Structure 1
Amino acid sequence: MSIWKLSPIAHPDDPHWKEYKYKEPLLVEAKEAGAARLRATRWYKEQFQGDPSKKIQQFYRSAFDDEKLYEVRRLTPESVQEEKEKFPMVKYNVV
């Protein structure tokens, strides 16, 4: 499992941000970059939209899905600890 850093790349005033409430980096534990974006979206929904089991929209999206807003890169094992001290991390949870 890798640790991915999703970092905002768009200017804070970019209209693509719409009404998104979180515009900071986020660390995500996932097997691949696409899975990291999906986990970040679920995290956002849990943090800012209430109960994640309730469907808000049929196809829920967050800023983490938009490549114009966030880039995704795999962290090196050496950089993980330092990054974890600065940013929230979404852990891989098997249910």
Structure 2
Amino acid sequence: MPSWIIEPVADPDDPRWQARRQWQRVVVRAPSAAFARVLAGTLDTPERALEQGHEHPHLGSGFKDEKLYRVVSSRDTVHPADGPDGILEAVERD
């Protein structure tokens, strides 16, 4: 199964981040780039949204936004191709 590298393309100060955690590099084993985005979403999706007031929390994962992250096929040999779908590596942005 292929692995995918997800990297930020937006500037760290871009307002699209909406106070989300930012990841420098996430490696995901998944059958497609789209599914890699879905799996990586567990890293930055809040457990629950704010429930009162006029707050507007980011709803959903930033990994789904192509203006925040790009997905490229990984050609590294560090992570074996065999194994279950999942996050293989995650490095938070400084």
Q: Which amino acid aligns with 1:81?
A: V
Runs of 5+ unmatched residues, structure 1: 83-88
Q: Point out where structure 2 has 5 or more consecutive residues left out of the alignment.
A: 51-58, 80-85, 89-94
How far does residue 24 in structure 1 lie from its aligned partner after superposition? Answer: 1.6
1:15 corresponds to? 15
Compute the displacement of 1:81 (Å): 1.4
Assess if the C-alpha contact under 8 Å between 1:3 and 1:80 holds in 2. no
Q: When you count helix as a share of all residues, which structure comes out higher?
A: 1
TM-score by length of structure 2 reads 0.67
Match of 1:61 in 2: 60
Q: For 1:12 and 1:80, locate their aligned partners in 2 and report how far apart those are by CA, in whole Å.
A: 29
State the distance in 2 between where 1:75 and 1:66 align. Answer: 20
Q: With the length of structure 1 as denominator, give the TM-score of the two structures.
A: 0.66
Aligned identity (percent) is: 31
Say what the alpha-carbon RMSD is for the aligned residues. 2.3
The corresponding residue for 1:90 is 87
- Deviation, 1:37, is 0.4
Give the structure with the larger strand fraction: 2
